[in-house]
Every structure is written in structure tokens, then in C-alpha cells.
Amino acid sequence: MEYRIEKDSLGEVKVEADKLWGAQTQRSIENFKIGPRMPYAIIEALLLLKKCCAIANHKCGKLDKSKSDSIVYACDTLLLGGYHDQFPLVVFQTGSGTQTNMNVNEVIAHIAGEVHPNDDVNMSQSTNDIFPSAIHVAAVRGVVERLLPAISRLEKTLTKLEKENGDVVKIGRTHLQDATPLSFADEISGWRMSVSEGRAMIEAALPFAKKLAVGGTAVGTGINAPKDFALIVADELNKILPYGFDADCNKFHALSQKDAAVFLHGAIKALSCNLMKIANDIRLLSSGPRCGIGEITIPENEPGSSIMPGKVNPTQCEAMTMVASEIMGNDTTISLAASQGNFELNVFMPVIGFKLLESIDLLAQAIDSFDAHCVTGLKANKEKMTYYLKQSLMLSTALSPYIGYEKCAKIVKLAAENNITLKEAALSLGYIDEEKFDEIINEAIESVRRK
């Protein structure tokens, strides 16, 4: 193995000759062998920001055009891909993300040539402002480019199912017990609105994530950064990613608090909670095929058992609920980490970024899989729904305005104790005649059927 010698403020370090990084990256490799790599989405965000910072520094008169162009060229080269192995550092490192920032600075400097990783690539920046900015950029990209489109696709599928099932009436359930009827379309509309509301909450959180800490440098005062530097960086970034990024107006808040990440992830968690409920509804309603509820059928994607031939399980529902559980756990991590900032800096940023991006990617993937392999193929078992509807004792609710609550309760009790129908019980007690009973019950059923 051939090595070269790199230097930093602590002295000399041996680096493998074919690596593009420098001494600070190498020290981090040797000192932190903990957990997964830093998400590449954060590396990409840093590369985009470094490119914009180089342009801004030149426009502000701090960086000559030759160096600015070299940094821009290096960033563009790296953004084309093929250099993932040059960013090997892990999530669990310094809490500011300094080592990853320097890893990016060193690799850019190596490709650019004749530029210094600190003096030129990191000009007008501190890890304390550029790393949280990168988290925000990566998170916004993930939400806008992957998560929101996946949510919209699921909404369209549920809207289609809703329209297809307007005439199907079934029994409702509350407390896991029989309740009054509703159309299957009504039930699906609840699922659809759960997804739509979740999307709206995520969109409402995005403006806060679009605020960037860049320009605050070390503690928020902007030391070593020229006037208007942050605004120019945001403007240059919006030319590449037209998502409406802006420089945070209070850098002291931007460096020390991570409430934007908490808020955005909280909205993601809220949608995850809704999706867990929907997935659980679907797997309960499709339970069976002979000894469960069996009101709906879902696609048979793969054998469900290694020992029971012919068994098919609601695997997409199970995957969705596991992802939702993971996201709820990530929310706890992010909330705790965001609460631990001291004075002018939060030093839990790598784990906040890691968990936020993990949740975004996981949820986008899970929604697309759930949509394509489960919800799209969901079918109503109309015969089973009709059977349960006719067996339900809670249709007695429709009789209550005519004969009163107490008499209805007696009808239900008699029917349940003697295993007879609601109609048989009502007629045997003499509280209502057959013609009126049929009229009331049929009207109640028709009233929930969508026309």
C-alpha cells in the first residue's frame, strides 16, 4: 500500500495515496469507527452549498475568479457521482459535523488544486453554520423530490378506490365492536383525508426548513463573512434548486436551535401514525380468509408461511407498520437531540440529520410499496359486507327515534341472548310492525349509500 503525508494543525498523517481526502478526514477515520456513514444526501447538500459559497465569495470580492471557478468545477465533478468512497466518515463523530465538513473541504481542494480546504473552500463559513444548512437542504430535497410525490400517488389511489365503492354499504366498528353502517367509500375517505392532512402538515413545516444558517459562521455573529454573503448563497442555491431557500434572519437561533427539524419530523411522524392506522385497518378487514373479518381482499404477493401451505399474509401492511414504528423512534431521538443545545451551538447535529433523512427516505419508499403492492389491488368483498350488515344489532340505532332508546336496548338484548335477528326480536316484543321496521332499516341503509 502506498501512502502520502498530509499535514494539519496537529502534525503529519499518513493517507493512502489513492484517496482524495486530507489529514483531518484521516484522523476522523482512525478515531471514530462508530455506526453508519454520514448520509450521502448531506454530502451532496454540502457540495451544493460549497459551490454557492465559492460564487458568493467571488461576488463579494473575497475570492479571486480562478479559485472560485476551480471550486465550482470540483463541486460539479463530485456532484456527477462516482466519488461516494471519498466520503467515508460516520454519523457518530463530533456533534457539530466538523469532520464531515472538512472531509468535503479536503476532497474539493484536492480536485480543484491550488486551493486550501480551510482558507478557500471553507471561506466565510464555519461548520456551525454550513452543516445545519446542509441538513436543511438535504431534508427539503428529500421531502420535495421523493416524499411528497409518493404521498400524492397514494392519495390518487385512495381517491380512485373511494369513487369505485360509493354504493357499497357495510357495518361500522367502534371500540372493535359493531356500530352503525357507513359506505365503504366513507371509510376509504377517512384514509384518504388522513394522507392528505399528513401531506398538508409536512408542507406547512417546509418553510422553516428552507431557512439556512449560512452566514452565521462560528456563533451567529457572522465573523469573517462579508455583508450579504448569506443572501447571495441562498440566491445561488435557488438557481440550482428552485425551492425558495432563504438566509435565516436570526443566526443565533439558527445555530443553537433545531426546532425546524423537530417540526418537520413531527409532521412526518403524524403521517406515519395515520399510515399505521390505515395499514392496521386493512390487515384487520382482510383477515381470514375463512376465520377472520374478510370484508376486503388484498393482493397475494408471496407465500406467507414456511410451514403452512397456501397461507398469504398482509406483508405490505406489516412493512408499513414497522416503518412507522421506526419513524416514531427517530422522532424521540430528534426531539431529545434538539433539546440539548448549549449556549450558541447544538452539538447533536449529525444524528438529527441522519434520523431526519432516514425517516424521509423510509417513508417515501414504504408509501410507494404500500401503494403499488397493496392499496392498488384492494377489493371489497361485497357479499361478506352485506352479510355482516344484515347480522348487525346496531341497526337498532335507526329505530331509536321511533320507539325510544330503552325499547331498542331490550330488542338488542333479546336478539343477542337468543341468537336471533334484530327484526325477529323487535317483532316478538311487539314494539313495531314488520312493514315499519323494514322501512326504517332500509332507509337507514340507503341514507349512507353514495349515489
Q: Which residues are catalytic?
A: 175, 305
Q: Which three cell numbers, joined as nine digits, stand for 433? A: 310492525
Q: Which three cell numbers, joined as nine digits, stand for 115? A: 486551493
DSSP track, 275-292: HHHHHHHHHHHT--SSSS
Strand partners, 173: 178
Q: Can you tell me the distance from the alpha carbon of 117 to that of 122, in angstroms, rounded to the nearest whole number? A: 6
Max alpha carbon distance in the chain (Å)? 99
Provide φ and ψ at 339, rounded to 5°. Answer: -80, -5
- How many CA atoms lie less than 13 Å away from 430 in the CB half-sphere? 0
Among residues 171, 131, 46, 189, which one has the least CA distance to residue 353? 131
Q: Label each residue of 394-414 as H, E or C.
A: HHHHHHHHHHCHHHHHHHHHH
388 dihedral zone (left: phi>0; alpha: psi -120 to 50; beta): alpha
- How far, in Å, are 38, 44, 108 from residue 48 at the CA level? 16, 6, 11
3-state secondary structure of 171: strand
Cis before 303 (ω within 30): no
Residues with Cβ within 8 Å of residue 270, at least 6 apart in sequence:
198, 201
Among residues 391, 405, 406, 407, which one has the least CA distance to residue 441? 391
Q: Can you tell me the distance from the alpha carbon of 131 to that of 169, in angstroms, rounded to the nearest whole number? A: 54
- Asked if residues 262 and 297 have their Cβ atoms less than 8 Å apart, the reply is no
Helices assigned H by DSSP within 175-250:
184-209, 229-240
- How many CA atoms lie less than 13 Å away from 393 in the CB half-sphere? 18
Q: Can you tell me the distance from the alpha carbon of 93 to that of 247, in angstroms, rounded to the nearest whole number? A: 27
Q: Can you tell me the distance from the alpha carbon of 275 to that of 269, in angstroms, rounded to the nearest whole number? A: 10
